[in-house]
Structure 1
Amino acid sequence: MLPNGGATTGVTDFNGDGRTDLADFLLFVNAFGGTDARFDLDGDGTVGLSDFLIFANAFGKN
């Protein structure tokens, strides 16, 4: 479950610059396969494919 009732705005802006962009993608890729809660967008305990799909949906939108 995503915070804000499923909205990804801000949730995927890992570096806090106000956008979900390449810099955030590089941070996400580094966390992929791990358990860092900041990147576990679906809350299942691991950073995996479903988290990537959530991230990809938000990419470039905020």
Structure 2
Amino acid sequence: MNEEIGVKYKDLAESISRLECELAFLGGQLYEVVDEEEKEVLSNKYLAVAKELNEQKGRLKRYK
């Protein structure tokens, strides 16, 4: 049981790290974009990733 929790915790931590990197990348992309349509698409993707990141962090807190 504890081993299973450890695996889930590790998976969540890795997922959070990946999502944080993706947000940083998207933030850089948004900074450089001048086309409004592309900016809107990237903004929506950024918000979706941020929402997922918050959900993952909430799940991680339950394991602490």
Interval containing the TM-score (normalised by the shorter chain): 0.3 to 0.5
- Please report the TM-score for the alignment, with normalisation by the length of structure 1: 0.33
Q: Higher RCO, 1 or 2 (CA under 8 Å, sep at least 6)?
A: 2
Larger radius of gyration: 2
- Please report the TM-score for the alignment, with normalisation by the length of structure 2: 0.32
